[in-house]
Structure formats: C-alpha cells, structure tokens
Amino acid sequence: MRVVVAPDKFKGSLSAPQVAAHLAAGLVHAVPGTEVVQVPVADGGDGTLDAAVSAGYRRVPVSAQGPTGEPVETAYAERDGTAVVEMADVSGLRQLPGGQLAARTASSYGTGEVVRTALDAGCRRIVLGIGGSATTDGGAGLVQALGGRLLDAGGREVGRGGAALAAVELLDLSGLHPALREAEVVVASDVDNPLLGPRGAAAVYGPQKGASPGDVAELDAALARWADAVRVATGVDTADRPGAGAAGGVGFAALAVLGAELRPGIDLVLDLVDFRATLPGAGLVITGEGSLDEQTLHGKAPAGVAVVARASGVPVVAVAGRSLLDPTDLAPTGIRAAYALTDIEPDPARCMSEAGPLLERLAARVAADWVTDDDDDDDKEPSRDSTSWV
C-alpha cells in the first residue's frame, strides 16, 4: 500500500521533515513493504523553508539583519528561478534576542535583504511566507532593504521599526530594485485583516508582539502616516485590502509596492511541494501538526492537506501532539480520524521531549487501522478503540 505522509511541524519538538521521517519509520516497521512518500508541509510560517528544501529546492545561505538589527544566518530556497523566503526565519519572533519582544522597533528589513539577495542571484519569482513575524512596521523595512527611502519633513532618512513611521513624510521609490519591475511576488498569508483600525495590524497582532494599549495606538497612527506616504508614491491605496494587515503590515507593502499576489499559505505550499502529484495510487494520506484545535479548522496545514486529498478520493487521517477537536469538528475538513500522542502518553512534557519515538508508536496504531498489504482493500475503517472515530 502507498501512504503519503504530509505533516506540518510539531512546534517546540520536531520539524515537519522530522515528523514525516518518524511516521514513515513507524509505518514501515508495523507493515514492512509499505511504500511511504514523505511530503513535509507548512502554512507559510515557520517551516516553509524546510518544506521547500524537502521538496528538492536548494538551500541558499544568507546573512541578514534580524528584527532588531542583530545579524542572523538565514536562507532562501531556490529552484528553477523561484526563491522561497520565510520571514519567520529572519524577521520572526524566534529571532528576537533573548525572546525580548520589540513591537515598536522590530523591522522587516532583514526579510527585504533576503529578497534582494534572491533577486541579485537572478530569481524572478519570489514566494514570501510571512507567518510568525515579530514586526509591526507596515513592511517599511522590507521596502527600505529593496531600495526605497523613507524621508521625514527635513529630508532625513527615517529609522527602523513601526514607531519610527510617525515621522514619515515622503517615500522615494526611485532606487527600488530594478528586478522588481519584472519579478512575480507571491505572498503566503492566511489573514484577511486590513492595515489600520480595530481589525488592523497593530490592534489585532500588536499585543502578541509585546505592544501595550498605548503602543497599539501609537503604532496604528504611525502606520496611517506610512499608508499615506505609500499611496502618494505608488498611486495605489491598499490599506483596506484583505490581508494588508498580515505580518504587521508586510502584506500591505507587498501589495502596494511590490505588486504582490496574496494566496492562502497552505495552498501555496502544497503547490510548491507538488503535493497533488503524490496522490495518484495512494491509499492513505497522513497529515498533522502539534495541536489539532480551532485554528486547524481555519486555514492551517492539516485542513488544507485534507481538502486536496479528499478531492482526489484519498482518505485522510491526522496525528498530533494533542487534539482538542472531536470527530464532528474534524468531519467537515475530510479528516476521518485523529491520533494524538497524549492517547499513548498522558504526560505533556514527555510528549514534547520524546515526540519522535512516540510518533513511531502512534504510526503503528494508524497502520493497524488503515494500512494493509492488500492494495485492493480500499474500504478499511479505523478501530473505534484506537482512535477518534469520524
């Protein structure tokens, strides 16, 4: 039997490629001869680079500035002139020194540096995953790194970070990277927030990045000045567009200045890794992530995998560190059963520290319920005793 394993990461314990490898090992140990195709996935945030590299893209190392200006070692993934850039890996929360949040000052400049490096190398299609950002700068840093100049009323360069945008008077795009005139930019984003207001970047996501109520008001006002400057420079007003508020407003800058297209993250990643091509002849798809919860149902990787697999007539089950969803929650996604590490190990700490071996044991349960040596047995159903039954 052919099984496609397409999980996202188990955050804090295993990357998506590691999850896939442990599931594959457990399946083959339980049912020798099982053909396992490993297709790690992501939703456009953490793990997007790993998914691309696992699919055959070449990892290209880049040194860039982190969200607060410190140097970080990151990369983009390249294949056939397409560069995959993961914002979380350069301007993300995990790149903040000591984990110290910096809502007012964090900048997307480093993300722009990676995009610039890819353009310099000849890439003309940029796929930018913007989940997991640490910034609320409206994408101003991204634009600065690509050659845009933000000037105050005295003609001086404006500093980095969202709060500094309060001084913006003029955006000069005359030095914007020339390759952007012909490059295609596609942004992976799963949010529909505008840039400004009560549903905007500062109000909704600022507190997650350390913004106090006063900071939120300051940042929203500064972003409004930035939006005005961008509108004058480009003749385009995208502040109210769905997704403009993504990644602290990077969605806004990508739309207005780079002419980007916004697409749901998991859909874009599934296309990048050519997931649909793995489905013909498959008898089962296994997806998953660290926690199956309400967010899973709204654009996260397992739901996206399930939609595509179900459309191809392939049954889908999910694995997770924990599952907070019952079968009726999962049914609309097409996930027919859910298996959690907490089913076999009640200690959450051990589920984190020993996730790999536990996943191999969990894979054996999946195999017992779904995997058979008989390729004609397409109607096998899970045992009610070993999993959530859908």
Question: Residue 377's pLDDT is what?
Answer: 46
Angstrom distance (rounded) from CA 190 to CA 188: 7
The architecture that CATH gives domain 48-265 is Alpha-Beta Complex (3.90)
The single residue listed with the structure tokens 């294949």 is 79
SS3 content of the chain, % helix, strand, coil (to 5): 40, 20, 40
Question: Residue 374's pLDDT is what?
Answer: 52
Q: Is 286 exposed, middle or buried (0-12, 13-18, 19+ CB in 10 A)?
A: buried
pLDDT tens by residue, 71-129: 999 999 999 999 999 999 999 999 999 999 999 999 999 999 999 999 999 999 999 99
Q: How many Cα atoms sit within 13 Å of 194 on the Cβ side? A: 12
Are residues 112 and 138 in contact, defined by beta-carbon separation less than 8 angstroms?
no
Q: Print the SS3 string covering 125-140.
A: EEEEECCCECCCCCCH
**Percent of residues, the chain, with pLDDT higher than 70:** 95
Which of the following CATH numbers is that of domain 2-40+280-370: 2.60.40.10, 3.40.640.10, 3.40.50.10350, 3.30.70.2740? Answer: 3.40.50.10350
Spatial CB neighbours of 25, under 8 Å, sequence gap ≥ 6: 360, 363
Please determine, for residue 375, whether its predicted confidence score (pLDDT) is greater than 50.
Answer: no
Q: Which long-range contacts (CB under 8 A, 24 or more apart) does 379-384 make?
A: 382/317, 382/336, 382/337
Please determine, for residue 390, whether its predicted confidence score (pLDDT) is greater than 80.
Answer: no
Tell which residue, 389, 171, 109, has the closest CA to residue 117: 109
Please determine, for residue 382, whether its predicted confidence score (pLDDT) is greater than 80.
Answer: no
Angle between helices 301-311 and 265-272 (to 10 degrees): 60
**Domain definitions of the chain by residue range:** 2-40+280-370, 48-265
Average pLDDT for residues 167-176, to the nearest whole number?
A: 98
Tell which residue, 108, 234, 134, has the closest CA to residue 180: 234
The confidence band for 373, taking pLDDT boundaries of 50, 70 and 90, is low
Q: Are strands 316-323 and 335-340 parallel, antiparallel or unpaired?
A: parallel
Average pLDDT for residues 138-150, to the nearest whole number?
A: 98
The confidence band for 7, taking pLDDT boundaries of 50, 70 and 90, is very high
The confidence band for 387, taking pLDDT boundaries of 50, 70 and 90, is very low
**Percent of residues, the chain, with pLDDT higher than 90:** 92
Question: Residue 190's pLDDT is what?
Answer: 84
Average pLDDT for residues 344-369, to the nearest whole number?
A: 96
Angstrom distance (rounded) from CA 6 to CA 310: 14
Question: Residue 380's pLDDT is what?
Answer: 47
pLDDT tens by residue, 284-340: 999 999 999 998 988 799 999 999 999 999 999 999 999 999 888 999 999 999 999
Please determine, for residue 185, whether its predicted confidence score (pLDDT) is greater than 90.
Answer: yes
pLDDT tens by residue, 230-265: 999 999 999 999 999 999 999 999 999 999 999 999
Average pLDDT value over all residues in the chain = 94
The confidence band for 386, taking pLDDT boundaries of 50, 70 and 90, is very low
Please determine, for residue 378, whether its predicted confidence score (pLDDT) is greater than 50.
Answer: no
Question: Residue 298's pLDDT is what?
Answer: 83
pLDDT tens by residue, 200-215: 999 999 999 999 999 9
The amino acid occupying position 260 is: A
Are residues 288 and 320 in contact, defined by beta-carbon separation less than 8 angstroms?
yes
Angstrom distance (rounded) from CA 157 to CA 176: 15
